[in-house]
Amino acid sequence: MPTTEEYIRKIQLEDRSGLIRLWNQIIAKDTPDWEKGKAFEFLILRAFELEGAIVKWPYSVAIYGQVVEQIDGAIHFQDSNISILIECKDYNNNLSIEPIAKLRNQLLRRPANTIGSVFSTTGFTEPALILSQFSAPQTILLWEKDHIEFCLKNGNFKEGFLKKYRHAIEDAFPNFDVTI
Rg (CA), the chain: 15
DSSP 8-state class, residue 157? H
Q: Domain 52-171 maps to which CATH number in 3.40.50.300, 3.40.1350.10, 1.25.40.10, 2.60.120.260?
A: 3.40.1350.10
Rounded (10°) CA dihedral 4, 10, 15, 17: -110
Residues 106-127 have a mean pLDDT of 95
Residues 110-120 have a mean pLDDT of 95
pLDDT band of 133, cuts 50, 70, 90: confident
> For 91-106, b where at least 16 C-beta lie within 10 A, e where not — what string?
eeebbebebbeebbeb
Ordered alpha helix ranges (H), 69-111: 98-108
pTM: 0.96
Residues 161-167 have a mean pLDDT of 95
C-alpha–C-alpha distance, residues 133 and 112, integer Å? 17
3-class SS at 148? helix
pLDDT band of 99, cuts 50, 70, 90: very high
Ordered alpha helix ranges (H), 28-91: 38-50
The domain segmentation of the chain, as residue ranges, is: 52-171
